[in-house]
Structure 1
């Protein structure tokens, strides 16, 4: 369930440490923690939806029940099997992805901590993975472009993908 996102977080950690040549064990630990935190950040979307956007919906009540009983494994399984029940997700959307791309450039080019830099990069790369997963698995990215009236065609989606990859390359270049 989290195999590929965790692999991406490990990739972010290795790339970050290779590009910055960090030697301090505490800073290395911050990079590892930031990358791992970024792996799970996008799942907060389901909690935002359950507690703030539609707290009375069936999905929301189930999520609230798992949280109330502190059943994190059950919560993760429930979200995994019902992840497509939500159509308008806040964090899994093109708007958040574009804001996150700008934020990643801003954070990486600033004097922010290594934790913050690794955290933002891991969120960004996992967001790119989720978009690709949605496109490949369901042959549709309409859930990502819910905020726009017109959905992009294949060429528009390819251009958007190139934009995302360009931002990622720039982010790593600025490290």
Structure 2
């Protein structure tokens, strides 16, 4: 298992439309394990394969919600292979989103509050479920990556430009400090 480099905007690979997974084999299992290691190390709650340079329809999510008693984050790693949104609710919710490919930048994004989704897990088992809350938002965010879409594409041009300028400034500041 390895920590993989995360591609950051404006890298054009992030605009690649990912291809469906044809076979669940040892290479895919290794990629999934590496994606979890990379996501936890970042740290993040979701990662699409294209963010580590692999244009396959695979994503991993772990909301790492805190235990009620101890407050410790409980890991619940979930793999989504060839995910599809079958239906989105008319009701929408707004979440403050961020992205490992747009580091340290956040903005409110409106998406359907619930979605009916289908996907295969790492064992090839097909799932179809109604998802809501942060999981629904995270799945939609990560699935956007599979289509070459970033969360900043959901913002107005003005907000997107401001966010990208902040990112450029932060990168320059970090380069000076290094």
Query: Does the pair score TM above 0.5?
Result: no
After TM superposition, the score normalised by the length of structure 2 is 0.28
RCO higher in structure (CA 8 A, sep ≥6):
1
After TM superposition, the score normalised by the length of structure 1 is 0.28
Higher strand share: 2
